Chain A
Amino acid sequence: MTVLLSVQGVTKRFGGLQALTHVTFDLPEGQILGLIGPNGAGKTTLFNAINGIYPPEEGRIIFREKDVTTAKTYDHARMGMARTHQIVQPLNDLTVRENVMVGACFGRENQSLGHATDTAAEVLNFVELAARSDQLAGSLNVAQKKRLEMARALAARPYLLLLDEVLAGLNSSEIGNMVEMVKSIRERGITIIMIEHVMKAVMSVSDRIIVLDYGEQIAEGTPEEISNNEKVIEAYLGDPKLAEKLLREQED
């Protein structure tokens, strides 16, 4: 099994706030890694460190055997890392197709406009947005914007896909669809890290799970191991709603 991404002792501070403390893990190719933790645990910060938005103060990030710790975020994109945003970031005044073409044109394959048009058509079909290709991205609803984020990331033909709460704000049938989509993306050979609050979903799709709490990695393991881990349950007691969810879902 080849290691696609290796995060080694990554530490990040914002002023006096310790956002990440020595986060360390290896991600083998083809896996889905779930990243969970209470609000403010540093999950999105870890994404930002991995894809070069805020380079970490300490530690190294190795992607496909290259040190990318201090590389710019666009370099990460070109090397094959793509992500979606927790708060959707559509390019409002461009059409849905053009949004996806940006991903294709400037992503790993550096596609030409013509090639990108074909890629966009294919990817939009996959995320079931094809009918809205000519609409302005700003006119989509939230669930559609989430799928647009996904389409843009996929169009880049990435090796690694970072999904930041793609399920948040969706209703249960939309969640079901999205989970299926994530699974079929993995089947295409794309490695995934997903930040998620919807426990049932993350437990069902992840091969492994890492739990962050106050920037510290408090547990790592298979979904079964995580749901029985005392430290995790303790951490979630600080966030009663999530603790309750976790416990309830375990009983299912």
Chain B
Amino acid sequence: MKNWRNHLGLLVPLLVVAGMVLWPVATGNLSNRENSFTILKAIALASSLNILLGYTGYVSFGHIVFYGFGGYVGLYFVNEQGWSIWAGILVGGISSGLLAFLLGKAILRLRGAYFALATIGINEAMKAFVNNFDLFGGPIGMTLNFSVYRAYGGAAEALRLSFYIMAGLTFAALILSHLVRTSKFGLGLQAIRENEDAAEVMGVVAPDAKTWAYVLSAIIPGMVGVLFFFKNGNVEPHVAFPLHASIELLVMVMLGGQGTVLGPIIGAFAYQGMRGFLVTSPIFKDIQLSVSGVVLLLIVLFIPAGAIGWLRQRIPSLRRVLA
């Protein structure tokens, strides 16, 4: 009974995402599936970032580097070495996790804005490096051999499969986020977020805990990168490491509420929904970026805890459900 209640917080997130997956399946509509894919991808990435940002309190402005790097490595093995997409996704996740481990040892010593700046530098350095790296196709990037799709029953089937893998990765991201949040490890991370020095005095081994949080927040983005470039059929440096995408992820986490499992989901929904509306709206289409900017500014200034944080503050009885 007690255990069941501990996991209540995961229920709403799982239901929301299950609805998201079933929607295109039920309607059988391909463009719904594309939209759903985009939102699931945003949820998976934002939830991963939330482990570092929301639970640990470190602001990464270059989190997309793990998506790009893992994606490149995975696609290279799928495309050039003939590995299956499954093996490619696995190697993409592992290599991003490894990168995070090495980077984390170095840059997690930095605090506050210095850490944020370092993550920007790393993303830009990586982008510039891949641009020069011939094995990954340099500035041209890599294009998937069409024959690769044949193993999965042709392009259409491969895209369908990609959608289900995306759904699986999103569920994995949510479960990981929930497990971290409700674990002892997660309690240590939250202590670091609130006051790193006090946490260390209480025995939290902050350097290790931060590094593992960084690693956990990097693995799923690496896997999503492989899947997305596989589905897209190609990858280029500026598509793999867009700085603005890192910031969009921050916005999503912030919109929904940092440090909660549900927050990044709501944030991803709201952000993608708003963008979808603005891009197609005849009035706002030309200045959609500005309108997004105004909305973001209003949220940062007036509800910095995000939607879920705001609800939790107003209605404490919802705390257990809106974890």
Given contacts A91-B194, A93-B194, A94-B194, contact A105 B201 (CB under 8 A): no
Contact call A78/B203, Cβ cutoff below 8 A? yes
- CB neighbours (8 Å) of A83 from chain B are 201
Complex formed: what's the CA distance from A72 to B205 in Å? 9
Q: Which of A53, A102, A112, A113 contacts B202 (CB 8 A)?
A: A102
Complex formed: what's the CA distance from A225 to B103 in Å? 57
- CB neighbours (8 Å) of A73 from chain B are 200-201
Instruction: Mark interface residues in A72-110 (1 if CB within 8 Å of B CB, else 0).
Output: 111001100011010001111110001001110111100
- CB neighbours (8 Å) of A102 from chain B are 187-188, 191, 199, 202, 204
| In the complex, number of A-B residue pairs with CB atoms less than 8 Å apart | 75
Q: How far is the CB of B276 from chain A (nearest CB, A)?
A: 33
Chain B interface helix/strand/loop/mixed? helix
Q: What total of chain A residues lie within 8 Å of the partner, measured CB to CB? A: 29
- CB neighbours (8 Å) of B259 from chain A are 93
Contact call A53/B201, Cβ cutoff below 8 A? yes
- CB neighbours (8 Å) of A51 from chain B are 201
Q: What total of chain B residues lie within 8 Å of the partner, measured CB to CB? A: 20
Contact call A113/B194, Cβ cutoff below 8 A? no
Contact call A107/B203, Cβ cutoff below 8 A? yes
Instruction: Mark interface residues in B190-202 (1 if CB within 8 Å of A CB, else 0).
Output: 1101110111111
Given contacts A72-B200, A89-B197, contact A113 B191 (CB under 8 A): no
- CB neighbours (8 Å) of A92 from chain B are 194
Contact call A101/B202, Cβ cutoff below 8 A? no
Decide if A152 is an interface residue (CB 8 Å cutoff): yes
- CB neighbours (8 Å) of B203 from chain A are 74, 77-78, 103, 106-108, 156
Contact call A107/B190, Cβ cutoff below 8 A? no
Decide if B21 is an interface residue (CB 8 Å cutoff): no
- CB neighbours (8 Å) of B191 from chain A are 91, 94, 102, 106
- CB neighbours (8 Å) of A112 from chain B are 184
- CB neighbours (8 Å) of B183 from chain A are 113
Decide if B75 is an interface residue (CB 8 Å cutoff): no
Q: How far is the CB of B261 from chain A (nearest CB, A)?
A: 16
Given contacts A94-B190, A113-B187, contact A74 B198 (CB under 8 A): no
Contact call A98/B200, Cβ cutoff below 8 A? no
Complex formed: what's the CA distance from A51 to B205 in Å? 14
Complex formed: what's the CA distance from A209 to B201 in Å? 25
Complex formed: what's the CA distance from A101 to B201 in Å? 14
Decide if B220 is an interface residue (CB 8 Å cutoff): no
- CB neighbours (8 Å) of A94 from chain B are 190-191, 194
Instruction: Mark interface residues in B169-212 (1 if CB within 8 Å of A CB, else 0).
Output: 00000000000000110011011011101111111111000000
Complex formed: what's the CA distance from A218 to B188 in Å? 41
Instruction: Mark interface residues in A150-167 (1 if CB within 8 Å of B CB, else 0).
Output: 001000100000000000
Complex formed: what's the CA distance from A89 to B200 in Å? 12
- CB neighbours (8 Å) of A91 from chain B are 190-191, 194-195, 198-199
Complex formed: what's the CA distance from A94 to B195 in Å? 11
Name which residue of chain A comes closest to B204, CB basis.
A106
- CB neighbours (8 Å) of B198 from chain A are 85, 89, 91
Instruction: Mark interface residues in B49-73 (1 if CB within 8 Å of A CB, else 0).
Output: 0000000000000000000000000
Within 8 A of A (CB), among B196-250: 197-206
Contact call A105/B187, Cβ cutoff below 8 A? yes
Name which residue of chain A comes closest to B205, CB basis.
A74
Contact call A106/B188, Cβ cutoff below 8 A? yes
Q: How far is the CB of B213 from chain A (nearest CB, A)?
A: 15
Sample of 7 A–B contacts (CB below 8 Å): A78-B203, A90-B194, A102-B188, A106-B199, A106-B202, A106-B203, A106-B205
Name A's B-contacting residues (CB within 8 A): 51, 53, 72-74, 77-78, 82-83, 85, 89-94, 98, 101-103, 105-108, 112-113, 116, 152, 156
9 closest cross-chain pairs (CB), A and B: A77-B203, A106-B203, A91-B194, A89-B198, A102-B191, A106-B204, A74-B200, A74-B205, A73-B200
